[in-house]
Structure 1
Amino acid sequence: MSEDVKRFLDRLSERSANRGPEPSWIAARRQAGAARFEALGFPHRRVEEWKYTDVRNIARGDFVLAKEAEFSPATAATLALPLDAHKLTFVDGIFAPRLSDLADLPDGVQLLPLSQALENNHEAVGGPLGRLTGVDFSPFAALNTAFMEEGAVLRLAPRTVVEKPIVLQFLSRAGEQPVMSHPRILIEAGARSEATVIEHHTGEVAAANFTNLVEEIMLDRGAILTHYKLLESPEQDSHVASMHMELRRDSRFTSFNLCLGGGLVRNDLVSELNGEGAEVIYQGLFHAQGRQHVDNHTLANHNSPRVRSWENYKGILDDRARGVYNSKVVVKRDSSKIVAEQHSANLLLSDRAEIDTKPELEIYNDDVQCAHGATTGQLDEEAVFALRSRGIDEQTARGLLTLAFAGEVMEQVGLDVVAERVELAVAGKLPDRYHLAGLVEAAVALNED
C-alpha cells in the first residue's frame, strides 16, 4: 500500500472510530469501497482514462474531515445565487440547516440530507444508492463509498411538477488545514415528474480543499429533469465528480455543466438510455485561466432503440490553463434508429493554453444517425479591430467576442442568475453604457463574416 493511499485510509479509520452504530449494509459498502480503493490506488497518467490529468496533488494532500459546518451567513449570502428556491446547503460536506431553506416544499417532493434519509428509512435509500455507481467505476468512486455519510436525497412522486428550482449548495471554507468531503447525491424522479436542480459549488477565496462527489440520477417513464452544475470553486480547490443517469422510456435529462473555477477539476458524466424515446442533452462550457486544469469525460450508452443523445461542449482557455474533453457514444447491437451528435469547440486565448479533445463513436448497429466534430481556434483579430473601430476598448472587445463564442451554449441556459455568473466570468464586468445583447449579436456577425 502506498503512503498516499494509507493516509486516506487512516482518516477513514479515525472517522469510523468516532462513528456510532450503523446498519450492516452501510458498513459492508464502506468496507467494499475501502478495499477497492486500496487495490486500485490513485489513478496515474499511464491509465488511459486519466492520461491527461495528474492527480498527485490530491493524493499527496494532507486533508482532514471537517467537524462542523460553521460559515458566516453574511459571507454565504454573497456567494449564493439570488434565487427563490428550495435549498440544501453543505459546508465542507456537512449539512448546514441554518443556511438551508426547506420550507413550503410542495406535495410529492422529498428533499433532505442523506444523513437524515438514512436515519429515517435507510432501507429505502439503500436500494438505489450505489446501483448506478459501483466501487469499480473509479478509485474516486470507491473512496466516496468508503466515506459515504452525507449528501442530498431528492425524490419526486409521479406527476409532480416543481415550480421553483431546487438548489444544492456546497460551500468550501478556508481553514487552518485543508479538508476533504465526499458528498453523495441521489435523485429519483417519478413517472412524468418535472424539476430543475442547480448544483452550486463555491467558497471562500483562500480555500484549498478537496471535494469528491458521486451523483446518481434515475428518471422514470416520461420524467423531465434539467440539471445545472455551476462550479465556481476557489482556484486552489480540487474537485472530482461522477454523475450517472438512468433514463427510462420517454424521459429527458438536460445537463448544463458550467465550469468556471477550481484548480483541478474532473467531471465524469455517464448516461444509460434504457427506454425508447429517452433523450439526454449535454451542454457544457468550461472557462479556465492561470494554471487551472479542467477535465470533462462524457459517455452516452444507447441501450434501447429510438433513443437520442445530443452534446455541445465549449472550452475557453487562457494563460497556461489546460482543458480535456473526452466524449464517447456507444450504440449497442440491438439499438436501431439512434440519433447521436457530439460537438466540441475550443477557444485558446493564449499561446500557452492547451486543449486535448477526443470525441468517440462506438457503433454496433447500421441503422443509426451519428456524427461528431471538434474545432480549436483563436479570436479573430479582424473582428477585434472592427469592434474597436466602434469606440470599444480592446479588453471589452475581446470579452464580447469570447462571450459570443460561448453564446451557443448560453442561449440554452434558462436561468438568468446562472447566465449572469457565466457572462461575468467569461467577459468580465461590461460597462453599463453598452447594450450587451446588441453587441454580442454584432460580435457574432463579425466573427461569421
Structure 2
Amino acid sequence: MIATEHETYHEQHVAFQRQDSPAWLADLRQRGFDEYTRLGIPDRRLEDWRFTNVAPLAKRPYVMPAVTDSPIGTTQDEIRALVEQATLDDQFHRLVFIDGRYSGQWSRLHDLPEQVVIESLSGALAERPDDLRPALENQFDFSDAAFAALNTAFIHDGALIEIPEGVTLERPVHLVFLSTGESQTVSHPRNLVRVGNHSKTHVIESYLGHGESYFTNAITQITLGEGAELDHHKLQHEQLGALHISLTAVDQRSSSRFRSHYFSFGAALARNEVNCMLDGEQIETTLNGLYMPTGEQLMDCRTRIDHAKPHCNSYELYKGILNDRAKGVFNGKIFVHQDAQKTDAKQSNQALLLSDDAVVNTKPQLEIYADDVRCTHGATIGELDDVAMNYLRSRGIPSDLARKILIFAFANDVVQGVELPAVRRRLESILLSGHELSEDIL
C-alpha cells in the first residue's frame, strides 16, 4: 500500500462527526475512517489493482462541497440542464442528489402504493435511525476495500427504497447523482434498496456532472426477499476528468431474480464492482455490462457471484469497446461453495479493439468446491471483421457508417437485454451517434 495523504480527509471527517447523529452511526463512521486510514490508497502491487493505477487521481485533495441551495460555481440553469439530460422518462419516480445530497427541488414522486418508501437516506436517518442500523452496520470486508471504508466514514445521504411484500411497483425509480463542483469535490452516496418477498421493481442509477475534476465514491446495498425480482440499471456518464468508484452488493433469498445492466461511458477512471450472494435455492442472477472507453480513459469492471446454496443459475455477459489509447479491465469470479450442488453458471467477456493502442486485461475465474455443477467461462479479444466491413462497403455503405453498424451489432445483445424502452433508446442513441462520445451526450 502507498501511504494515504489523508490529512484533508481527516479534517473533513472531524468536522463531519460534529453533526448531530446517533451514537451507533458516529461509531460506524469512525470505524470506516480508521480502516481507510489503515489501508491507504491501493496501488498496483495489490492483485486486485494490478491493471488499474488509481493513485494519481485518488490522491488529489478532494473536498466535500458546502451544503447550499445553489452550489458554488454552478447556476440553476446548469443544474436544470443536467437534470434534463439525465431524465429518461417523466413518468418515472425520480430522486435527484446534488454533490451527494438530496435535492427535493429537482426530485419528483408520483402516487405510491401503500407502504412503499422512496426517500432520501438522510431524511430516514433523521426520522427513524434505528430502523436502518442493521443494514448500515452490515459492514463489508474492509481488508482490501479502502474506498468502501471511506464511503462508510462519510455516510450521510443517498436513496432509500423499500418495497413491501407482494407489491409490484410499475413505475421505475430513477436515481440521479449530479456532481456540480468546478474542481476536486467528492461525494459518497450510500443507497439502500430492499425488495420484499414476491415483490418486483426497476431501479436506475445515473451518474453525471459538470466540471472536470471530481470524485464519486458510491455504494448501493440491495436485498431481495424470497421470490422478489429487481432489474437494476446503472448508467455512468461522468465527465472525462472525473474519478468514479462504485460497489453494488446484492443479497438474494430463495427464488429471487436479479438482473444487472451496467453501462460505462464517462470518467477518466471508472471502477465498478458488483458482488452477488445467492443465499437460497432456485435463485437466478444475470449480470450484463458494456464499457466503452476512448482517449486515455480506463474502465475497470469487477464481478463476483457467490453460489452458496444448491439449484441456482447465474448468467454473465460483459462487453468492451475500446478506442484510441483506452484501457479496459475485466475480472469476473464465480465462487461455488461446497453445498451449492446443481449450480449452473455461465460467464463470458468479449472485447472489441478499435485501435492498435487500445489495451484490455481480462481475467475470468471459477472457484468450485462442489462436484455436481455446470460452469463455463471464457474471454475473447478481437478487432472489427475486415470481411464484414468489405461486404458492407461493397453494398454502397460508407466506411464510417459500416463501422457504426458493426459496433452496434457487437453491443446490441447487451443493450437488448434492457427491458425498459426509455433506457434502451438512450443506449441505442449513444451507440448510433458513434463511438467517439461528444460532450452533449456526456
Secondary structure of the 1:312 match is strand
Q: Percent identity?
A: 37
Greater mean deviation of Cα atoms: 132-141 or 31-40: 132-141
Q: Kindly report which structure 2 residues correspond to 1:172-251, keeping only aligned pairs within 5 A, or say none.
A: 172-175=179-182, 177-204=183-210, 206-251=211-256
Which is further off, 129-138 or 310-319?
129-138
Superposed, 1:285-296 pairs within 5 Å as: 285-296=290-301
Q: Is the CA contact (8 Å cut-off) linking 1:260 and 1:425 kept in structure 2?
A: no
AA at the equivalent of 2:233: Y
2:352 and 2:190 mapped to 1: Cα distance? 33
Q: Give a deviation string over 1:325-345, Cα, whole Å, max 9, x none.
A: 000001111110000000111
Alpha-carbon distance change, 132 to 223 in structure 1, aligned in 2, over 3 angstroms: farther
SS of alignment partner, residue 304 of structure 2: strand
More displaced, 87-96 or 379-388? 379-388
Deviations 1:96-115 (A, max 9, x none): 11110123122231011110
Give the Cα separation in 2 of the matches to 1:65 and 1:35: 19
Whether contact under 8 Å (1:91, 1:171) holds in the other structure is: yes
Q: Which amino acid aligns with 2:96?
A: T
Alignment of 1:294-309 (within 5 A): 294-309=299-314
Deviation at 1:352, TM superposition (A): 0.4
1:46-57 to structure 2, matched below 5 A, reads 46-57=45-56
Give the alignment partner of residue 132 of structure 2, picking from 125, 138, 141: 125
1:227–1:256 CA contact under 8 A, matched in 2? yes
| Structure 2 match to 1:104 | 111
Mapped to 2, the partners of 1:130 and 1:374 lie a distance apart of 37
Report what 2:11 is aligned to.
Answer: 10
The alpha-carbon deviation at position 254 of structure 1 amounts to 0.2
Aligned mates of 1:207, 1:16 — CA distance in 2: 29
Structure 2 vs 1, CA of residues 369 and 69 (structure 1 numbering), >3 Å: closer, same or farther?
Answer: farther
Segment of structure 1 superposing worse, 124-133 or 65-74: 65-74
Q: Deviations over 1:160-196 (max 9, x none)?
A: 1010110010012142x32000000111110000000
Deviation at 1:389, TM superposition (A): 2.4
Give the distance between the partners of 1:69 and 1:405, measured in 2 at CA: 44
Find the counterpart in structure 2 of residue 28 from structure 1: 27
- Report the equivalent of 1:445: none
Q: What CA distance in whole angstroms lies between the structure 1 residues aligned with 2:278 and 2:239? A: 34
CA gap of 1:335–1:77, structure 2 versus 1, over 3 A, is closer
Question: Counterpart of 1:423 in 2: which secondary structure?
Answer: helix
- Once the two structures are TM-superposed, the CA of residue 147 in structure 1 deviates from its matched residue by 0.6
Equivalenced residue count is 426
Instruction: Tell me the CA shift for residue 137 of structure 1.
Output: 5.4
- Match of 2:73? none
Cα deviation, 1:378-420, whole Å, max 9, x if unaligned, reads 0012211222222322111101100100011112111233223
| 2:423 corresponds to | 418
1:264 is aligned to 2:274: no
SS in 1 for 2:235: strand
| Cα deviation, residue 58, structure 1 | 2.9
Contact 1:322 1:354 in 2 (8 A): yes
| Contact 1:325-1:358 within 8 A present in 2 as well | yes
Aligned equivalents of 1:82, 1:34: Cα separation in 2: 36
Deviation sequence 1:176-220 (CA, Å, 0-9, x none): x3200000011111000000000011122x332100011110001
Write the distance in 2 (CA, Å) between the matches of 1:3 and 1:379: 42
User: Is 1:66 paired with 2:58?
Assistant: no
The answer to whether the 8 A contact 1:271-1:301 is kept is yes
Residues 150, 183 of structure 1: 8 Å contact kept: yes
Structure 1 residues 293, 284: closer, same or farther in 2, change over 3 A?
same
2:169 to 162, 170, 185: 162
How far apart are residue 429 of structure 1 and its match?
6.0
**What TM-score, normalized by structure 2, do the two folds share?**
0.93
Q: 1:310 offset after TM fit, Å?
A: 0.7
- In structure 2, the residue matched to 1:88 is 95
State the match for 1:281 in structure 2.
Answer: 286
- Matched to 1:129, the amino acid is L
Contact 1:277 1:306 in 2 (8 A): yes
Q: Give the whole-Å Cα distance in 2 for the aligned partners of 1:35 and 1:132.
A: 14
Give the conservation status (yes or no) of the 8 Å contact 1:304–1:335: yes
Residue matched to 2:438:
none
**1:380-399 aligned within 5 A:** 380-399=385-404
Contact 1:172-1:207 within 8 A present in 2 as well: no
- The SS at the match of 1:99 is strand
Q: Return the alpha-carbon distance in structure 1 between the equivalents of residues 227 and 4 of structure 2.
A: 48
Q: In the aligned structure 2, how far is the partner of 1:6 from the partner of 1:260?
A: 32
Separation in 2, partners of 1:364, 1:351: 40
**Residues of 2 paired with 1:234 and 1:385: CA distance?**
36
Q: CA deviation at 1:64?
A: 1.1
The answer (yes or no) to whether the contact 2:58–2:243 under 8 Å persists in 1 is no
* 3-state DSSP of counterpart to 2:30: helix
Given that 2:17 and 2:26 are in contact with CA atoms closer than 8 Å, whether structure 1 keeps it comes out as no
Q: Give TM-score, length-normalised by structure 1.
A: 0.92
Question: Partners in 1 of 2:217 and 2:284 — Cα distance?
Answer: 27
Quick one: distance in 2 between partners of 1:321 and 1:429? 16
- Mapped to 2, the partners of 1:69 and 1:285 lie a distance apart of 35
Separation (CA, whole Å) in 1 of partners of 2:238 and 2:289: 17
